[in-house]
Amino acid sequence: MANNSSNGGEKTTTKPPPQPSPLRNSKFFQSNMRILVTGGAGFIGSHLVDKLMENKKNEVIVVDNFFTGSKDNLRKWIGHPRFELIRHDVTEPLLVEVDQIYHLACPASPIFYKYNPVKTIKTNVIGTLNMLGLAKRVGARILLTSTSEVYGDPLVHPQPESYWGNVNPIGVRSCYDEGKRVAETLMFDYHRQHGIEIRIARIFNTYGPRMNIDDGRVVSNFIAQALRDEPLTVQLPGTQTRSFCYVSDMVDGLIRLMGGEHSGPINIGNPGEFTMLELAETVKEEFGLASGKQDQLHRWGWGWGHLTKYGMHKIVIKHESRMKLAGGILLINPEVEIKKVENTPDDPRQRKPDITKAKELLGWEPKLKLREGLPLMEEDFRLRLGVAKKK
């Protein structure tokens, strides 16, 4: 582990920050904040936009290429006078006049960032360069959403910001974790060389409504599988750990970091740590799939039905994996299975944030526990999956 003095974090430059345009010193402009959110059509970005739009003095501009994000996530703001949505790829330069930049644009799910790794690196490196160039021209403060993946497969546990990490530079995840590491380097170089006001958040696994159904990340996968009555796919060995932060806590942390005096990097995450097997069991329990009576179906014509006091009630059979025929009766097990499946290379074995800095410097810590956050995703997932709640 490196000591704090060589970590880059919290070191300041003597360079004064670039001056914003003279208009920004006028009374009207001073009371209004123009905020750019790159990647604002994505999962965390759209929740951040919702929060920023609550403040009537904020004008919000979202730029997004819609690779993993969607206009649907922002539908309540489209047409709003304080909101603007621009289809734009951050690997191209952008000319807008803003006071703050939340730079989130980057695919975050391993499936998506590995899909086109060269593009992922370009997004992290060229995209961050472009946003820093913009920050320099207009004198804006810029916040980068970096990641716990900069710690790689960590050998220090939990991970403080001073830990330099254990990253494979040539692996299949490198496009993302090395990409984010370079993005952090660029942030500090622009700060030291040009006086740019920077903020770096190292985000740990975040979950909540609006995650893509087919996002591939573990929480959305397990919830979608549970609601579809499919086995929960725990990747081997299942003992690997993650720490899950509910999205409203994350957004609160990001806004505090942007508004505060500290450059970071600062870990923003929930220190509650779970193995993937524990997460699967928790999802089963929270979604009422861990216990219950076995369902017994009787043959009825060509199909199967429940024998009720009003006679036979026909049932459409969908989930063969949970059925067993015994003595002419079809038994349906209410317990959703856990299925162990192959993992992907370089999957970090453990991850848990040390949030001492966030607590001390931002007065931030997460409010929601995993068991409180998971049920808040149910309605959104049911709606998008078209799965009604069982009576």
Please report, as ranges, the residues that interact with ligand UDX according to CB under 6 A.
Answer: 108-110, 147-149, 205, 216-218, 221, 233-235, 240, 242, 276, 343, 347
Nearest to ligand NAD of 336, 368 (CB atom): 368
Q: Backbone dihedral region of 225: left (phi > 0), alpha (psi from -120 to 50 degrees) or beta?
A: alpha
In angstroms, how far is CA 12 from the centroid of its own chain?
A: 29
Q: Which residues pair with 341 in a beta bridge?
A: 235
Provide the minimum distance between the beta carbon of 205 and ligand NAD in the complex, in angstroms, as a whole number: 4
Per the CB < 8 A criterion, the answer to whether 182 and 240 are in contact is no
User: Counting contacts by CB under 6 A, is residue 42 touching ligand NAD?
Assistant: yes
Helix (H) or strand (E) holding 372: helix 370-373
User: Counting contacts by CB under 6 A, is residue 12 touching ligand NAD?
Assistant: no
Structure tokens at 345: 């290379």
114 binds, among ligand NAD, ligand UDX, none (CB under 5 to 8 A by kind): none
251 binds, among ligand UDX, ligand NAD, none (CB under 5 to 8 A by kind): none
User: Counting contacts by CB under 6 A, is residue 225 touching ligand NAD?
Assistant: no
**For 259, phi and psi rounded to 5 degrees?**
-80, -15
Q: Indicate which residue of 102, 113, 151, 176 is catalytic.
A: 176
116 binds, among ligand UDX, ligand NAD, none (CB under 5 to 8 A by kind): none
**For 374, phi and psi rounded to 5 degrees?**
-55, -45
Provide the minimum distance between the beta carbon of 41 and ligand NAD in the complex, in angstroms, as a whole number: 4
Segment contacting ligand NAD by CB under 6 A, of 19-27, 41-49, 296-304, 366-374? 41-49
Q: Exposure of 60 by Cβ count < 10 A (0-12 exposed, 13-18 middle, 19+ buried)?
A: buried
Structure tokens at 154: 């960590």
The neighbour count for residue 88, using CB atoms within 10 Å, is 17
Contacts of 1 (CB under 8 A, 6+ apart): 156, 160, 162, 163, 164
Among 9, 37, 59, 65, binds ligand NAD (CB under 6 A): 65
Q: Which residues pair with 275 in a beta bridge?
A: 241
234 binds, among ligand NAD, ligand UDX, none (CB under 5 to 8 A by kind): ligand UDX
> Cα–Cα distance between 289 and 128 in angstroms, integer?
43
Nearest to ligand NAD of 142, 336 (CB atom): 142
Q: Exposure of 373 by Cβ count < 10 A (0-12 exposed, 13-18 middle, 19+ buried)?
A: buried
110 binds, among ligand UDX, ligand NAD, none (CB under 5 to 8 A by kind): ligand UDX
Residue 238 identity: G
128 binds, among ligand NAD, ligand UDX, none (CB under 5 to 8 A by kind): none
User: 389: which DSSP letter?
Assistant: P
Contacts of 216 (CB under 8 A, 6+ apart): 109, 110, 111, 112
User: Counting contacts by CB under 6 A, is residue 246 touching ligand NAD?
Assistant: no
User: Counting contacts by CB under 6 A, is residue 147 touching ligand NAD?
Assistant: yes
Does 176 participate in catalysis according to the annotation? yes
User: Counting contacts by CB under 6 A, is residue 179 touching ligand NAD?
Assistant: no
User: Counting contacts by CB under 6 A, is residue 159 touching ligand NAD?
Assistant: no
> Cα–Cα distance between 242 and 110 in angstroms, integer?
14
Per the CB < 8 A criterion, the answer to whether 79 and 104 are in contact is no
User: Counting contacts by CB under 6 A, is residue 208 touching ligand NAD?
Assistant: no
Nearest to ligand NAD of 91, 333 (CB atom): 91
Nearest to ligand NAD of 64, 286 (CB atom): 64
Looking at the annotation, which residues are catalytic?
176
Contacts to ligand NAD by CB under 6 A = 38-39, 41-45, 64-69, 89-91, 104-108, 123, 127, 145, 147, 203, 205-206
